[in-house]
Amino acid sequence: MPDITVVAERREDRGKNAARRHRVGGRIPGVLYGGKKETTAVSLNPKDIISILRSAQGENTLFQVKVGSEGESVQAMIRDFQLEPIHHTLLHADLLRIAADQLLHLDIPVVLTGDAPGVKEGGLLEPVCREIKVECLPAAIPERITVDVSGLSIGGIIRLRDIQAPQGVEFLTEADVVLATVAAPRKEEEAAPVEVATEAPAEPEVLKKGKAATEGEEEGKE
Domains, the chain, ranges and CATH? 5-97 (2.40.240.10), 104-183 (2.170.120.20)
- Under a CB-based contact definition with an 8 Å cutoff, are residues 97 and 90 in contact? no
Please say if the pLDDT value at position 222 is more than 80. no
Per-residue pLDDT, 2: 62
Per-residue pLDDT, 53: 96
Average pLDDT of 96-109?
97
Tell me how far apart the alpha carbons of residues 139 and 60 are, in angstroms, rounded to a whole number. 12
- Under a CB-based contact definition with an 8 Å cutoff, are residues 27 and 10 in contact? no
pLDDT tens per residue, range 37-50: 999 999 999 999 99
Per-residue pLDDT, 150: 96
Tell me how far apart the alpha carbons of residues 147 and 142 are, in angstroms, rounded to a whole number. 13
pLDDT tens per residue, range 156-194: 999 999 999 999 999 999 999 999 999 998 776 555 555
Please say if the pLDDT value at position 120 is more than 80. yes
- Under a CB-based contact definition with an 8 Å cutoff, are residues 129 and 178 in contact? yes
Tell me how far apart the alpha carbons of residues 84 and 80 are, in angstroms, rounded to a whole number. 14
